[in-house]
Structure 1
Amino acid sequence: MRNVRGNEKGPATISALIMSTPSTPSSPRRRAPQYDPPPTRKVLLYLIAFRLVNAFVLRTFFQPDEYFQSLEPAWQTAFGQDQGAWVTWEWRHQLRSSLHPLFFAALYKAADFFASALDVSPAARAELLIAAPKIAQAVVAAIGDFYTWKLAIRVYGNDSRGSWATLAATVLNPWQWFCSTRTLSNCAETTITIVALELWPWKWSVASTTDGSRDKGTGSQKRGTDSDRRVVSRLHRCLPLAALACILRPTNLLIWITLASFAWLRTSWAQRRVLIGDAVVCGSAVLAVSSIADRLFYGFWTFPPLRFLYFNIAQSLAVFYGSNDWHYYISQGYPLLLTTLLPFAVWGLYRTLTTHSQVGDRVQVAIRVQLATVCLVMPLVLSLISHKEVRFIYPLLPSLHILAAPPLVQYFYPAFNPLAYPRETPRRLILIFAVLVNVFIAVYTTVYHASGPLSVLSYLRVQHNVHSAPTNKASNTVSETGITAGFLMPCHSTPWRSHLVYPSINAWALSCEPPIDLNATQKALYLDEADQFYNDPSQFLHQNMAGGLRHLPRRPSYSTPAYSHLSKPPNQPAQHEWPDYLIFFAQLEPTLRPLLRGSSYGECWRTFNTAWHDDWRRRGDIVVWCLDTSEQDSWRSETQRRVQQSRDRQFDRIVESFKKEAHVPTRGWNALVSSMPWSSTPSTSTLQSWQRSVQSFFAPAPKSSIYWPWRRRSRWENFLARLSPRKTSWVPSWVGDWVPGWLQGRKRRPTEAELWS
């Protein structure tokens, strides 16, 4: 590249241009304020609109914790214990903080009040209750993207290429599109963490042994305190957020221990006293609020973070949900988080930790080094735990975006130069390919992959509205008698009451309670309800279904007024009633078909779920069997109609391809006919007759009216007509559908014109 300034002796690299800030003495013309309110406000509004679209496009299933660690306890808190929410064992043993579900409980109450005020229908109320958490989480995700950009501005300067590259990487990241708008506690943790990181006093993390800030003199400390007044104000806002992130996810403590260690080693004693005092005060305040909320939520005093560590570390219950290799976060975690950004993030980490003379002021260098250290320390510590998931290191993704920005700009920015030579074309193509790959992954994972669990619950809500007539038209309330549904799936394969909504939908599912308070031998032999079913479906249905496989219902419950529902909580092992709708993955269909052959169950709906799955129990479509014969007939007719339409479209494509082959240009016909050994240069009328004959050959026509244009070759035609069938037995039988009978040696009926000739 060419020199940025003429008086510089060496070439200026793009990374040097990125990391230069407007506060450096070498750029006096760029002393504008770092935070410009109008562009900042516009960026935030654009991000909110973008994440709202993201949230409403999202219709796939990722993790059960998205619903069972947030929305289900929130539903029970907002509407009561009799509304059918599925509260898992973690909440019964006080492993989770109540702050996260209380946030969504408030949203549910507000949405319900809004629906009541507008007097909307039950179906509209259900859609509003489903949309409320999505809207809130979209705003939370947009705030996280916005503060990632603001922290990048602190590192690379306002209006720098590095900050805008960070924002572009955040918006185009498929993992962000796939996960950021979900109601997982990890998503809220990520947003809270990046906001707190932007407010963290990074100036205190800079070694300042030469500026006199470590002097013991009172005047020096006073000057330092006066100059750090703004920093202390930011610290007062940072520490409560950091404490809140640690309350939501105790593993977030690894981030703040690392940063606090840097600050402790590089600050003066006065700053250390301020840091410790504020941390104690803010942490105690957040802890007190969390304890009071837990007391109201659980009904007694408890400390969820301590119980979380006890159950997952002391009793090793996390291993019950799977264990991974030690290199999981390196081989799978970071690649899934970053996708096409992985090489640039790795290079940014390496350059940050190995380059001693980095461009930029000391605060910017300290931010990059400490973010890179956190991105290595947290996965290293979490690798010591057997149970690993990508979302556990999700709070590191904004920091990785910031560190990947300089390599991104250094590699791709020359491709944007209009005066660039053609040699930059490969970089442009790589950039276009990377963007298209990210968009494809984002669309596939948010629209198609594992889309069945949400679709089947929408289907059940529709069927509930069809079979539950309103009892009070003025209030649009539905009757208490609703449909019943049973899920023969691995536990927590679908959302629950947050998407079923109606409490009159009596549903049950296979549970997977962990082996609590059992010894090592008992844990090794323990099988939950889902494991028992998949080990022997026939025996499970005999023993755990009311009536076994001998006494099966013949009609749905909503058609029998005297039918009494035996609804039991899904988390209590007991005999399950045979439901009106039986839901399972298509992988189980060959097993259930012979077991329920003599019953009234039949397929009444099916939806695509995924083309592949790492769990063999969740492969294939999601199939719904029901007892209502009218629904079965309707679905059978609909399926036949779709199959017929598919066949018609396929036949139309074949016919169109034949027509295109028949309508060859005249030049092609001349070449075709002239290439024949028996043909001389034909006339225009001969070509036209040849074209018409071939078109009539592909068009449906009576076999007795085939016309061929080369009547002057009658000798050849007569020779073939005299061949006996025995001599032409080499002609395959299937040729008869396409080749005239005289070509196969079969005697054909003479036409009327031939008889009169």
Structure 2
Amino acid sequence: MTFRRKCQEAQLKFSYRSSSNITFHLFVSLSFIIRPTSAIPFVIIYPYLLYKTSNRLKFLFQAFLCFILLNVFNILLDSYMYNRWTIVPLNFLYINFFHPNSISSHYGINNILWYLTNGLPMIFFYRLPFIFLGSISNKRLTIIILFTIFIYTLNKHKEFRFLTQILPILFILEAHGIDWCSKKLKWSKFRWIIFLSFIGHLFIGLYFSLIDRQGQISVMHYLRKNLINNNNNNKEIFSIDFLMPCHSTPYYNFIHRNDIQLNFLTCEPNLNNIINDYIDEADQFFLKPIESLKQRLNNSNSSHLVMFDILYNQVKDVFEEDQWFFVKDILFNSHIQHTSRHGKMIYFLERR
């Protein structure tokens, strides 16, 4: 009886491991479909798991099966939607790493150590020492992080959001570092460090989530509240020009109506390699804002304009001379001017 029970327990344990492996492979494959760069950490993780597993052939078969099935389904779905054969991961790799025009660098070039000198310090700030302490006792996780960052440094364009996929691992290292400090230091003193760290991050998080750069979202609330409510009876057609760096506001996430047209300065890269010395529409506009604004207004029937105070101060003479538009409202955006094209206030102008 005891032997049978042990056999049943062993069988249940084996089936649980098998199903959990399949679930793991499915989630890894799904993450690759959602964002191909998520495969980078698993270049280290999979060989280690393969080394540790007792049934390597089964592990490989499950991984291969899940990956192939999900990706074939994804390729067929994308190809159907685009009406031509489309393999997104290959396109992603080509556009970001092998395109002759270096498409990713179109959106900015950073130095090779940017993730170490800017990315991680900006995200973790004074919590970096805890990560360093945690990495000493967790070499495997540290190797995964270093390998992922190394691959990212090969791309000229770098962003904070690229680090999101290794943030959970970094949090684990931070927790190990805090645990090490709590054992080595007196808890009565160390707990105040943890408390102040939590309070500090709470205020920082609240400020950057609720206050900083909120004008770029509140302007859409403003437009939806004023234009849509006023237009329900008049049935006018509005055309709003956002004279800002591209993708500064959420646009159609807030307003999606046939009687309100949203226009913005585009920043598409030179994908087709047709134009030499290519400059996108947004860069062309900000190089000569006054001339570009006059040309844009002459060739369009814009009813409203939205721009940062930085641009308004450069082109306000155009509105004073021609009396085309007047300032309808001014919205707060940020206490800090983040870039040369993003301002602290947002001007909303209406045609006379």
Q: Larger C-alpha radius of gyration, 1 or 2?
A: 1
Pair 1:287 & 2:42 matched: no
Report what 2:195 is aligned to: 432
Report what 1:619 is aligned to: 343
**Secondary structure of residue in 2 paired with 1:449:** coil
Pair 1:408 & 2:155 matched: no
Query: Residue 341 and residue 228 in structure 1: after superposition, are their counterparts in 2 closer, same or farther (change >3 A)?
Result: farther
Matching residue's letter, 1:304: V
Pair 1:306 & 2:87 matched: no
The one of 310, 321, 336 equivalent to 1:587 is 310
Contact 2:132/2:177 (<8 A) preserved: no
The correspondence of residues 684-723 of structure 1 with structure 2, limited to 5 A, is none
- Note the aligned Cα RMSD (angstroms): 2.4
Shift of 1:442: 0.2
User: C-alpha distance in 2, partners of 1:233/1:337?
Assistant: 36
Report what 2:16 is aligned to: 230
User: C-alpha distance in 1, partners of 2:191/2:15?
Assistant: 47
Contact 1:464/1:482 (<8 A) preserved: no
Count of aligned pairs:
341
Which of the pair is proportionally richer in strand? 2
Shift of 1:266: 4.2
**Secondary structure of residue in 1 paired with 2:137:** helix
Report what 1:516 is aligned to: 271
User: C-alpha distance in 2, partners of 1:301/1:238?
Assistant: 29
Matching residue's letter, 2:305: L
Report what 2:239 is aligned to: 484
Matching residue's letter, 1:372: T
The correspondence of residues 132-143 of structure 1 with structure 2, limited to 5 A, is none
1:266-294 deviations in Å (ceiling 9; x for gaps): 445xx221121111211111112212321
Pair 1:278 & 2:87 matched: no
Matching residue's letter, 1:599: Q
Contact 1:236/1:282 (<8 A) preserved: yes
The one of 318, 323, 328 equivalent to 1:599 is 323
Contact 2:53/2:59 (<8 A) preserved: no
User: C-alpha distance in 2, partners of 1:414/1:313?
Assistant: 46
Contact 2:103/2:270 (<8 A) preserved: yes
1:126-153 deviations in Å (ceiling 9; x for gaps): xxxxxxxxxxxxxxxxxxxxxxxxxxxx
Shift of 1:514: 0.7
Shift of 1:378: 0.4
Query: Residue 530 and residue 225 in structure 1: after superposition, are their counterparts in 2 closer, same or farther (change >3 A)?
Result: same
User: C-alpha distance in 1, partners of 2:309/2:266?
Assistant: 20
User: C-alpha distance in 1, partners of 2:96/2:11?
Assistant: 43
Contact 2:215/2:331 (<8 A) preserved: yes
Contact 1:412/1:431 (<8 A) preserved: no
Matching residue's letter, 1:450: R
1:690-719 deviations in Å (ceiling 9; x for gaps): xxxxxxxxxxxxxxxxxxxxxxxxxxxxxx
Shift of 1:415: 8.4
**Secondary structure of residue in 2 paired with 1:582:** strand
The correspondence of residues 49-448 of structure 1 with structure 2, limited to 5 A, is 228-268=14-54, 271-315=55-99, 316-353=102-139, 369=140, 371-412=141-182, 424-425=188-189, 427-448=190-211
Contact 2:330/2:345 (<8 A) preserved: yes
Report what 2:285 is aligned to: 533
The one of 266, 285, 295 equivalent to 1:543 is 295
Task: Provide the identity percentage.
Answer: 26
**Secondary structure of residue in 2 paired with 1:386:** coil
Contact 2:239/2:304 (<8 A) preserved: yes
User: C-alpha distance in 2, partners of 1:495/1:453?
Assistant: 8
Query: Residue 509 and residue 255 in structure 1: after superposition, are their counterparts in 2 closer, same or farther (change >3 A)?
Result: same
Shift of 1:470: 4.5
**Secondary structure of residue in 2 paired with 1:501:** coil
**Secondary structure of residue in 2 paired with 1:618:** coil
**Secondary structure of residue in 1 paired with 2:341:** helix
Query: Residue 416 and residue 579 in structure 1: after superposition, are their counterparts in 2 closer, same or farther (change >3 A)?
Result: farther
1:615-671 deviations in Å (ceiling 9; x for gaps): 21112201111135xxxxxxxxxxxxxxxxxxxxxxxxxxxxxxxxxxxxxxxxxxx
Query: Residue 376 and residue 532 in structure 1: after superposition, are their counterparts in 2 closer, same or farther (change >3 A)?
Result: same
**Secondary structure of residue in 2 paired with 1:468:** helix
User: C-alpha distance in 2, partners of 1:262/1:432?
Assistant: 37
TM-score if structure 1 supplies the norm length? 0.43
User: C-alpha distance in 2, partners of 1:580/1:517?
Assistant: 33
The correspondence of residues 606-685 of structure 1 with structure 2, limited to 5 A, is 606-627=330-351
User: C-alpha distance in 1, partners of 2:207/2:12?
Assistant: 54
Matching residue's letter, 1:443: L
User: C-alpha distance in 2, partners of 1:412/1:613?
Assistant: 40
Shift of 1:416: 8.9
Shift of 1:346: 1.4
User: C-alpha distance in 2, partners of 1:495/1:336?
Assistant: 25
Query: Residue 603 and residue 538 in structure 1: after superposition, are their counterparts in 2 closer, same or farther (change >3 A)?
Result: same
TM-score if structure 2 supplies the norm length? 0.89
Shift of 1:542: 3.5
Shift of 1:377: 0.9
The one of 458, 461, 469 equivalent to 2:221 is 458
User: C-alpha distance in 2, partners of 1:486/1:416?
Assistant: 60
User: C-alpha distance in 2, partners of 1:459/1:514?
Assistant: 31
Contact 2:134/2:174 (<8 A) preserved: yes
Shift of 1:338: 2.5
Shift of 1:263: 2.6
Report what 1:673 is aligned to: none
